[in-house]
Chains A and B, each alone.
Chain A
Amino acid sequence: MNFILDGFFQAIDLLITGNAETYSAILVTVRVSSYSIGSSLILGIPLGFCLGYFDFSGKKPIRTIVDTLMALPTVFIGLLVYAFLTNRGPLGNFSLLFTLPGIAIGQTILALPIVIGLSATAIESMEKKLRITIMSMGANRRQLFLTSLWESRHALLAGAIAAYGRVMTEVGISMMVGGNIKWHTRTITTAIALETNKGQFGMGVALGLVLLTIAFCVNFSVSFLRRRY
């Protein structure tokens, strides 16, 4: 039990003394999760908009598939992405294995169903009459798209935060595709796994608290933005 309290003080110590290994892991985590959340939002919001906005045959089954993919296990994604990125795989020429963009590809696959599903729900639950009215005001398609997104911004934001949380805390993809390489692809979560394997439980707890601190900073700035807009 002691190691939990030890971990708490160790976490403060790591952050204050500017422990190089910890800050490297923090930077890697923030960087790779920004890549993946950025690309999953850019891809996912338009797709989610289409899925929530338009009525077409096959919409229901697609919704079910998207919802199912939200449950993709991270280790499985890691294995799939590894199969493509390995030097003998179809994308081996790009040398993406054991790199941050490689991890980001896997994490994008992880976050995409969440972003698509939740933004589709956000658009669907938008006031139906609002949509008709926007059109009756003579808005063109682009204006319609952007206005609908703006009107459902809070629900979209909630989806983005859920996806960000999942991306930042996953360990399966980072471990399998990134390889937990010190100074390069070691994220906070793979570092926790390693420290636990090494029996350094206190250090593992400390890193877990560091991760929570980052998550808190992200959510705090998001809620600040939300109050302003």
Chain B
Amino acid sequence: MALGQLEYILIHRCVLSIKKGEMRMKGLLSAILCLALAVCLLPGICKAEEKTLMMATTTSTDNTGLLDYLAPKFQEATGIELKWTATGTGKALKLGENCDVDVLMVHAPPAEKKFVEAGFGADRREIMYNDFVIIGPAADPAGIKGKSIKDALQSLKAKQAIFASRGDNSGTHKKELSLWKAADLQVPEKENWYIQTGQGMLTTINIAAERNGYTMTDRGTYIKYEDNLGGNPSLKILVEGDVVLLNQYSVIAVNPKHCPKVKNDLAMEFINWITGPAAQEQIKEFKLLGKPLFTPNAKK
């Protein structure tokens, strides 16, 4: 039987390619394996675990740079490396409940107390505070400047002024919800003027600025925002100083009874350090644009 030209070419190719293909493919596969091994053996991955403490915290402590400032000082004092993941307080508490972290640094006292009562957290200690402020465009179309927080929220609603809310179950969001309730208002939900961003504080401030609207933020993040814009922000502080606007930060050790594998000794070392005089002084010294961001208030 005569072979067609195509078959002939194919056979010719195959005789070569079965040998060649097998060899080369083998070569390629072993190259991939070698590469994978080499990458695995890069320094760091296989080394023994050092003393590290895992913390879940809120975006505000991370975004302002406070933790970048404190972590090396903590390591110097105790030899423990602090690792942290920054999320909203809601998720941070969830990570604690699931035993994924050893310690929490959060700012939603009512939720924290519930967390401790449920047996997920052991030692809760207050460490510092700043305060929440309502910021908005300098022209202040809703006319809230200098008003009490209650009156301010009522006129925001009456004037239907654009208001950006975190909407992410974070400490700041929980606080905002409680303020609407305290002002005898129904929490806005689907209103056109009420924007739920679902993002971090600085992003939310930026969204409010883009829409020429209002938002509520912790003062630390606001100063950071001011700093980013070279000290000339488009949104200004309009309402501040009300007692209800206090923003308390606490540290909580994840309960070793609930999570046996948690590094409670390291967590306690961190809590003792951060509530101690040296760290408290360092928190006070942490400044942006010459303004302190947090006020330490750990009880002895």
Interface residues of A (CB under 8 A from B): 27, 31, 34-35, 38-39, 41-42, 86-89, 92, 97-98, 100, 127, 129-130, 133-134, 137, 139, 142-143, 146-151, 153, 179-182, 184, 194, 196-200, 229
With beta carbons under 8 angstroms apart, the residue of A89, A130, A149, A198 that contacts B202 is: A198
Stretch with Cβ within 8 A of A (4 or more), from B79-87, B158-166, B188-196, B273-281: B79-87
Chain B residue contacts of A87, Cβ below 8 A: 98-100, 259, 261
Q: Are B261 and A199 in contact (CB under 8 A)?
A: no
Q: Are B36 and A137 in contact (CB under 8 A)?
A: no
With beta carbons under 8 angstroms apart, the residue of A38, A147, A197 that contacts B22 is: A147
When A149-B21, A181-B84, A199-B202 are in contact, do A97 and B100 touch as well, CB less than 8 Å? yes
* A-contact bits for B1-38, CB 8 A (1 contact / 0 none): 00000110011011101101110111010001101100
Number of cross-chain contacts by CB at 8 Å: 116
Chain A residue contacts of B63, Cβ below 8 A: 197-198
Shortest CB-to-CB span from A88 to chain B, Å, is 5
Chain A residue contacts of B259, Cβ below 8 A: 87
* A-contact bits for B164-203, CB 8 A (1 contact / 0 none): 0000000000000000000000000000000000011011
Chain B residue contacts of A127, Cβ below 8 A: 10
Q: Are A147 and B18 in contact (CB under 8 A)?
A: yes
B225 within 8 A of A: yes
Shortest CB-to-CB span from A224 to chain B, Å, is 14
Report Cα–Cα, A41/B225, bound state, in Å. Answer: 45
With beta carbons under 8 angstroms apart, the residue of A34, A86, A100, A179 that contacts B36 is: A34
With beta carbons under 8 angstroms apart, the residue of B17, B28, B36 that contacts A147 is: B17
With beta carbons under 8 angstroms apart, the residue of A41, A86, A147, A200 that contacts B98 is: A86
Q: Are B21 and A150 in contact (CB under 8 A)?
A: yes
Shortest CB-to-CB span from A101 to chain B, Å, is 8
Chain A residue contacts of B22, Cβ below 8 A: 142-143, 146-147, 150
- The number of residues on chain B lying at the interface, defined by a beta carbon within 8 Å of a beta carbon of chain A, is 47
Report Cα–Cα, A137/B12, bound state, in Å. Answer: 10
* A-contact bits for B202-230, CB 8 A (1 contact / 0 none): 11011000000000000000001100100
With beta carbons under 8 angstroms apart, the residue of B18, B36, B202, B205 that contacts A35 is: B36
Report Cα–Cα, A88/B6, bound state, in Å. Answer: 61
Beyond A149-B21, A184-B83, 5 extra complex contacts between A and B, CB < 8 Å = A42-B32, A129-B10, A134-B18, A151-B17, A199-B206
- In the A-B complex, the 5 residue pairs with the smallest Cβ-Cβ separation, listed nearest first, are A150-B21, A179-B85, A147-B21, A87-B99, A146-B25
Chain B residue contacts of A153, Cβ below 8 A: 25, 28
- What are 14 A-B contacts defined by CB distance under 8 Å? A35-B40, A38-B32, A38-B39, A39-B36, A87-B99, A87-B259, A88-B98, A92-B99, A130-B14, A134-B17, A146-B21, A150-B24, A194-B62, A197-B203
B298 within 8 A of A: no
Report Cα–Cα, A182/B248, bound state, in Å. Answer: 25
Shortest CB-to-CB span from A60 to chain B, Å, is 28
The prevalent SS among residues of B at the interface is helix
When A88-B99, A150-B17 are in contact, do A31 and B42 touch as well, CB less than 8 Å? yes
B123 within 8 A of A: no
Chain B residue contacts of A92, Cβ below 8 A: 99
B265 within 8 A of A: no
Report Cα–Cα, A98/B7, bound state, in Å. Answer: 56
With beta carbons under 8 angstroms apart, the residue of A39, A41, A134, A200 that contacts B14 is: A134
Q: Are B45 and A31 in contact (CB under 8 A)?
A: yes
Chain A residue contacts of B17, Cβ below 8 A: 134, 147, 150-151
Chain B residue contacts of A130, Cβ below 8 A: 10, 13-14
Chain B residue contacts of A180, Cβ below 8 A: 85-86
The residue among B25, B54, B206, B259 with the most chain A CB atoms within 10 A of its own CB is B25
Shortest CB-to-CB span from A3 to chain B, Å, is 10
Q: Are A86 and B11 in contact (CB under 8 A)?
A: no
Chain B residue contacts of A42, Cβ below 8 A: 32-33, 36
